[in-house]
Amino acid sequence: MKGGYNTAPTSAILAFFKQNPEKRFTARDVGNSVNSPVEQANRSSVYRIIDKLSNEGFLLKYTDVNDKTTSYLYSEGHGPCNKHAHAKCSECDKVFHLKNEILEEAAKKIIDEYGFDIHYKDLMITGICKECKEKMNKTRHP
Ligand SMILES: [Zn+2]
Ligand SMILES: [Zn+2]
Protein backbone atom coordinates (compact mmCIF):
# COMPACT_ATOMS: atom_id res chain seq x y z
CA MET A 1 0.00 0.00 0.00
CA LYS A 2 1.51 3.29 -1.07
CA GLY A 3 0.78 6.83 0.09
CA GLY A 4 0.45 6.09 3.81
CA TYR A 5 -2.33 8.13 5.35
CA ASN A 6 -3.60 9.55 2.11
CA THR A 7 -5.64 6.47 1.45
CA ALA A 8 -9.35 7.10 1.81
CA PRO A 9 -10.16 4.43 4.43
CA THR A 10 -7.32 5.57 6.69
CA SER A 11 -8.37 9.23 6.48
CA ALA A 12 -12.00 8.32 7.10
CA ILE A 13 -11.08 6.31 10.18
CA LEU A 14 -8.84 9.07 11.57
CA ALA A 15 -11.56 11.64 10.87
CA PHE A 16 -14.06 9.51 12.75
CA PHE A 17 -11.82 9.42 15.83
CA LYS A 18 -11.15 13.17 15.57
CA GLN A 19 -14.88 13.87 15.68
CA ASN A 20 -15.18 11.94 18.93
CA PRO A 21 -11.93 12.69 20.75
CA GLU A 22 -13.19 11.76 24.21
CA LYS A 23 -14.77 8.45 23.33
CA ARG A 24 -13.25 5.03 22.99
CA PHE A 25 -14.35 2.73 20.22
CA THR A 26 -13.85 -0.91 19.44
CA ALA A 27 -12.72 -1.86 15.94
CA ARG A 28 -16.23 -3.14 15.37
CA ASP A 29 -17.74 0.26 16.33
CA VAL A 30 -15.46 1.92 13.81
CA GLY A 31 -16.32 -0.55 11.07
CA ASN A 32 -20.02 0.08 11.71
CA SER A 33 -19.81 3.86 11.95
CA VAL A 34 -17.44 4.98 9.28
CA ASN A 35 -19.13 5.28 5.89
CA SER A 36 -18.36 5.16 2.24
CA PRO A 37 -14.57 4.92 1.87
CA VAL A 38 -14.45 2.15 4.42
CA GLU A 39 -17.33 0.21 2.94
CA GLN A 40 -15.07 -0.48 0.02
CA ALA A 41 -12.42 -1.79 2.35
CA ASN A 42 -13.34 -5.00 4.08
CA ARG A 43 -13.62 -5.50 7.81
CA SER A 44 -10.17 -7.01 8.21
CA SER A 45 -8.56 -4.01 6.55
CA VAL A 46 -10.41 -1.75 9.00
CA TYR A 47 -8.83 -3.76 11.81
CA ARG A 48 -5.43 -3.56 10.14
CA ILE A 49 -5.67 0.22 9.68
CA ILE A 50 -6.68 0.76 13.32
CA ASP A 51 -3.86 -1.45 14.48
CA LYS A 52 -1.38 0.47 12.35
CA LEU A 53 -2.68 3.82 13.65
CA SER A 54 -2.28 2.65 17.23
CA ASN A 55 1.21 1.25 16.60
CA GLU A 56 2.20 4.64 15.23
CA GLY A 57 0.72 6.47 18.19
CA PHE A 58 -2.27 8.16 16.53
CA LEU A 59 -4.63 6.07 18.62
CA LEU A 60 -4.38 4.70 22.11
CA LYS A 61 -5.10 0.98 22.25
CA TYR A 62 -6.69 -0.01 25.50
CA THR A 63 -7.86 -3.39 26.74
CA ASP A 64 -10.34 -3.31 29.58
CA VAL A 65 -9.17 -5.43 32.50
CA ASN A 66 -12.72 -6.48 33.34
CA ASP A 67 -14.46 -7.35 30.11
CA LYS A 68 -11.25 -7.74 28.03
CA THR A 69 -12.63 -5.64 25.18
CA THR A 70 -10.03 -3.70 23.23
CA SER A 71 -10.95 -0.16 22.36
CA TYR A 72 -9.20 2.79 20.79
CA LEU A 73 -9.03 6.47 21.67
CA TYR A 74 -7.79 9.36 19.53
CA SER A 75 -4.51 10.88 20.76
CA GLU A 76 -6.09 14.32 20.45
CA GLY A 77 -2.91 16.30 19.93
CA HIS A 78 -1.30 14.92 23.06
CA GLY A 79 1.49 13.42 21.03
CA PRO A 80 1.92 9.76 20.20
CA CYS A 81 0.02 7.58 22.64
CA ASN A 82 2.66 4.85 22.43
CA LYS A 83 5.15 7.24 24.04
CA HIS A 84 3.33 8.31 27.21
CA ALA A 85 1.32 6.85 30.06
CA HIS A 86 -2.42 7.20 30.62
CA ALA A 87 -4.81 7.40 33.52
CA LYS A 88 -8.39 6.18 33.48
CA CYS A 89 -11.18 7.26 35.80
CA SER A 90 -12.93 4.22 37.17
CA GLU A 91 -16.16 6.21 37.66
CA CYS A 92 -16.72 7.96 34.32
CA ASP A 93 -14.24 5.93 32.22
CA LYS A 94 -12.53 9.05 30.92
CA VAL A 95 -8.92 8.54 29.82
CA PHE A 96 -6.25 11.18 30.44
CA HIS A 97 -3.00 11.48 28.52
CA LEU A 98 -0.20 11.98 31.07
CA LYS A 99 3.00 13.94 30.56
CA ASN A 100 6.01 11.71 31.02
CA GLU A 101 7.92 14.44 32.88
CA ILE A 102 5.58 13.83 35.81
CA LEU A 103 6.48 10.17 35.92
CA GLU A 104 10.15 10.44 35.12
CA GLU A 105 11.26 10.77 38.75
CA ALA A 106 9.27 7.70 39.71
CA ALA A 107 10.48 5.82 36.63
CA LYS A 108 14.12 6.55 37.56
CA LYS A 109 13.55 5.25 41.07
CA ILE A 110 11.93 2.11 39.73
CA ILE A 111 14.94 1.49 37.49
CA ASP A 112 17.34 2.13 40.40
CA GLU A 113 15.47 -0.03 42.83
CA TYR A 114 14.27 -2.89 40.63
CA GLY A 115 16.24 -2.47 37.40
CA PHE A 116 12.87 -2.32 35.74
CA ASP A 117 12.14 -0.26 32.61
CA ILE A 118 8.60 1.02 32.25
CA HIS A 119 6.85 0.71 28.91
CA TYR A 120 4.84 3.90 28.94
CA LYS A 121 2.56 2.73 26.16
CA ASP A 122 1.25 -0.07 28.35
CA LEU A 123 0.91 1.99 31.50
CA MET A 124 -2.69 2.71 32.48
CA ILE A 125 -3.15 4.17 35.93
CA THR A 126 -6.64 3.87 37.34
CA GLY A 127 -8.25 6.21 39.82
CA ILE A 128 -10.87 8.91 40.21
CA CYS A 129 -10.86 12.10 38.14
CA LYS A 130 -11.30 15.60 39.50
CA GLU A 131 -14.88 15.95 38.25
CA CYS A 132 -16.02 12.66 39.74
CA LYS A 133 -14.31 13.48 43.02
CA GLU A 134 -16.16 16.80 43.16
CA LYS A 135 -19.46 15.04 42.47
CA MET A 136 -18.75 12.54 45.23
CA ASN A 137 -17.81 15.25 47.69
CA LYS A 138 -21.07 17.04 46.94
CA THR A 139 -23.18 13.98 47.63
CA ARG A 140 -21.19 13.24 50.75
CA HIS A 141 -21.38 16.78 52.10
CA PRO A 142 -24.59 18.34 50.80
ZN1 LIG B 1 -2.24 9.35 24.89
ZN1 LIG C 1 -14.38 10.61 36.31
Is residue 90 within 8 Å of 72, Cβ to Cβ?
no
pLDDT tens for 64-121 read 877 888 999 999 878 888 888 999 999 998 889 998 888 888 889 999 999 999 888 7
Q: Mean pLDDT throughout 120-130?
A: 89
Ligand 1: distance of its center to the CA of 83 in Å?
8
Q: Domain 84-142 carries which CATH code?
A: 3.30.1490.190
- Closest ligand to Cα 120: 1
Q: What is the Cα 41 distance to its own chain's centre?
A: 23
- Closest ligand to Cα 91: 2
pLDDT of residue 135: 92
Percent of the chain topping pLDDT 90:
32
Is residue 21 within 8 Å of 64, Cβ to Cβ?
no
pLDDT of residue 2: 44
Does residue 129 surpass a pLDDT of 90?
Answer: yes
**Domain boundaries of the chain, sorted by first residue:** 1-78, 84-142
Kindly tell me the number of DSSP H helices and DSSP E strands found in the chain: 6, 5
pLDDT tens for 1-16 read 444 445 778 888 898 8
- Closest ligand to Cα 54: 1
**Matching CATH number, 1-78, of 3.90.600.10, 1.10.10.520, 1.10.10.10, 3.90.190.10:** 1.10.10.10
Ligand 1: distance of its center to the CA of 115 in Å?
25
Ligand 1: distance of its center to the CA of 16 in Å?
17
Ligand 1: distance of its center to the CA of 1 in Å?
27
- Closest ligand to Cα 88: 2
